[in-house]
Structure 1
Amino acid sequence: MADYVVGDIQGCYRGLTRLLEYVKFDPSHDTLIAVGDLIGRGPHALETLQYLYSLQDSFSTVLGNHDLHFLAVYSGIRKNKANDKYDKLLASSDVDKYVHWLRHQPLALTLDENTLVCHAGLYPQWSIAQAQALSDEVSANLQTDNWQSVLKKMYGDEPNRWDENLSGSKRWRFIINAFTRMRYMLDSHTLEFTCKDSPEKTPTRFRPWFSVKNTNLKPNDKVLFGHWATLAGNTNTDKFIALDTGYIWQQQLTLWKRQNGEKYSVAYQD
């Protein structure tokens, strides 16, 4: 039995199946966890969701920015653009089923009290327990009949600093942005959204979120995340494990095996 955490799939169904074949993934006794961005920009959004949905209890995921964007496109809040590659999925007779399934997925998932899975990372002022509680706040609203109201208000860069007293759409927006869009910080509290490059190519005033000291983390805590392809999987620490290695950009698709802490990858194939 093995537990695998896979990086951003982004509708690259063929890459995913090659990677799972490589590690001999067997859903009858193994589990697969995704860091979000199951779809978006890749050519096989429908096939990807069909497969992951079919895994049932052997699969779990958190939501990424592309997954949330798809829900907004489905809801008519945002336009469907050609490079989203959602057309076939939107036209599917099963699209409602997949939308219902996606909006019931969390922003953060604790594998145990010391291991967190999220899409973009852990805001440096939060503990793992607090992050899970904040994820649960947003999830509770995404699971109501009025779930689309969250999506209508999630776009925007403000507020960019956490305040426990934030409420309503401002609170949801910050939580969603921290979990799904965060890369750099301007200081220990302030999110910076414009830069997507690797740290060595970025002005030193921009600090990767994982380089900001988090006094709420325990020595053996781990955070597994995706979202940041230009990191190429490198954080220079085994506490923060980056799993987006840019398959959609013709690089690699990577997963991490929980039992031994090893990473496994396959190179891009068209």
Structure 2
Amino acid sequence: MATYAIGDIQGCWAPLERMLDRLAFDQAVDRLWIVGDLVNRGPESLRVLRFLRDLGDAASIVLGNHDLYLLMVAAGLKRRDSDDTLYQVLEAPDRDELIDWLACLPLLKVHGEHVLVHAGLLPGWTVTRAQALAAEVGTALGGARARDFLLNLAGNRPERWSDGLKGWDRLRVIVNALTRLRFCTADGRMDLRAKGAPHKAPPGMMPWFSVPDRFSRTHTVVCGHWSALGFYREPGLIALDSGCVWGGKLTAIRIEDDAVFQVPG
């Protein structure tokens, strides 16, 4: 049995298929950890969604920002971007089943000493705290007011977390941190506009994982989202977005021995 964490797929079925062949992935005994952004911009989001859904317990998956975008579009709450590639999903006969399955996925999962999340964790959040906050979002997304939640999800404010936040502002900060975070200040103020490489951090900002004494250093965070960072490892961090959808590579790492596998995007 082996566990493979895989970076942002974004609807790129062919590279995923090549990766699974290279890994000799066996659904009966192996496990996949998928760090979000299953869909969009690549040409075969529908095939990716169907495959991952059908893996059942063989896959551990968290939501990314593009997956949440699909949920908003499917609910009729957001105008489609000119470069999205979700038409196959939105017109599929099993569209509703796929959307319902996607909406039930969490924003964060803990597997022993590893934390699976799309983007990152704010420096003042312990893993236990982040897990509880992610669960708040899961309750909202799966509850009677899910449509209201999606309607109020977009936006960059508030820019920082506070225990006193309530309502949609509270949930929006949690979602933004877990699915969009790249740069923040030492005290956790986020810059959600900057997308460049770490050395291009805005003034006063740094990569979220570089904040000294961030509380989540108790675990290894396995994430994606940051294609300008690329595949990157340091103690306590495995970043897997190597720009597959942009012509880069799809990256996987075997958790048991840190072996790295890459295929062309």
Q: TM-score, normalised by structure 1?
A: 0.94
- C-alpha displacement at 1:215, in angstroms? 4.4
* Number of residue pairs the alignment of both structures matches: 265
User: What letter matches 1:161 in structure 2?
Assistant: R
1:211-237 Cα offsets, whole Å, 9 max, x none, are: 002342355x200000000111125x1
Distance 1:108 1:183 in 2: 16
Give the root-mean-square deviation of aligned CA atoms: 1.3
Three-state SS of the structure 1 residue aligned to 2:216 is coil
Q: 1:176/1:217 Cα in 2 relative to 1: closer, same or farther (>3 Å)?
A: closer
1:1-270 superposed matches below 5 A: 1-112=1-112, 114-203=113-202, 205-219=204-218, 221-234=219-232, 237-268=234-265
Read off the aligned partner of 2:76 and give its amino acid letter. Answer: G
Q: Cα distance, 1:77 vs. partner? A: 0.6
Runs of 4+ in 1 over 3 A off after TM superposition: 201-204
Q: Match for 2:262: what amino acid?
A: S
Question: Matched residues, percent identical?
Answer: 37
Distance in 2 separating the partners of 1:189 and 1:120: 14
Which whole-Å CA distance do the structure 2 matches of 1:212 and 1:39 have between them? 30
Alignment partners' CA distance in 2, 1:156 and 1:197: 20
Please say if residues 126 and 214 of structure 1, whose CA atoms lie closer than 8 Å, have aligned partners that are also in contact: no
TM-score (norm 2): 0.96
Q: Secondary structure at the match of 1:99?
A: helix
Kept in 2, the 8 Å contact 1:4–1:257? The answer is: yes
> Deviations 1:223-267 (Å, cap 9, x if unpaired)?
0000000111125x1311100000011000011211112221112
**Distance (Å, rounded) in 1 between the aligned partners of 2:87 and 2:108:** 28
Q: What's the CA shift for 1:76?
A: 0.6
**What is the letter of the counterpart of residue 149 of structure 1?**
D
Change beyond 3 A, Cα 1:48–1:218: closer
Q: Closer, same or farther in 2 for the Cα pair 1:138/1:179, shift >3 Å?
A: same
Structure 1 residues without counterparts, runs of 5 or longer: none
Task: Return the offset for 1:146.
Answer: 2.2
Gaps of 5+ in 2: none
* Structure 1 residue 129: Cα displacement: 0.9
CA 1:216–1:202: 2 relative to 1, 3 Å: closer
Given that 1:36 and 1:67 are in contact with CA atoms closer than 8 Å, whether structure 2 keeps it comes out as yes
